[in-house]
Amino acid sequence: MKSRETLVRLKRFQVDEKRRRVAQIEAMIAEFERMAGDLDREIANEERKAGISDPANFAYPTFAKAARGRRDNLLNSAAELRDQLEEARSHLEIAFEELKKVELLEDRTKQIERAEVAAREQVEMDRIGSRLAYARA
């Protein structure tokens, strides 16, 4: 009995850990995309100031080139994190299914134990009823 309760707690902990991991990756993706958006705005402002929007132009602003590189790195990192996110979600789904199986097993075990207790109590009540009926006769 104790080992099943421990197993249920362990599975719940694993599900919680996997949920935290998914949330952490989602937050990182959102942050990278926000930062890339900020860089896009800075690049657009720099290009507008310089009047040059072609990165191949020799007079293209150095800041805009560097910001493009940082933005591209952030977007690549976000794409890599999306792959990790899919994997983390898959692991979460598996952990959740395992938890449900263990919880169902625990519920069935408790139902069986309750039925056994009820059956023992009924046998005892029948014995008491038989004694009382025998004593009255």
Asked if residue 8 lies in contact with residue 78, where contact means CB atoms within 8 angstroms, the answer is no
Query: Tokens 């080139």 correspond to what residue?
Result: 65
Q: Residue 100: inside a domain, yes or no?
A: yes
pTM: 0.73
Average pLDDT over all residues of the chain: 92
Q: Residue 135: inside a domain, yes or no?
A: no
User: Would you give the distance in Å from CA 58 to the centre of its chain?
Assistant: 48
Name residues whose C-beta falls within 8 Å of residue 59's C-beta, 6 or more positions apart in sequence: 50, 52
Q: Residue 123: inside a domain, yes or no?
A: no
Structural domains in the chain (count): 1
Q: Residue 131: inside a domain, yes or no?
A: no
Q: What tens digit of pLDDT does each residue of 13-67 get?
A: 999 999 999 999 999 999 999 999 999 999 999 999 999 989 999 999 999 999 9
**Signed CA dihedral, 43, 48, 49, 51: sign only:** positive
pLDDT at residue 133 is higher than 70: yes
Q: Residue 132: inside a domain, yes or no?
A: no
The residue range of the domain holding 87 is 2-104
Name residues whose C-beta falls within 8 Å of residue 119's C-beta, 6 or more positions apart in sequence: none
Can you give the pLDDT at residue 5? 84
DSSP annotation string for 66-78:
HHHHHHHHHHHHH
Q: How far apart are CA 79 and CA 88, in angstroms?
A: 14
Q: How far apart are CA 7 and CA 10, in angstroms?
A: 5
Can you give the pLDDT at residue 75? 97
8-state DSSP, 1: -
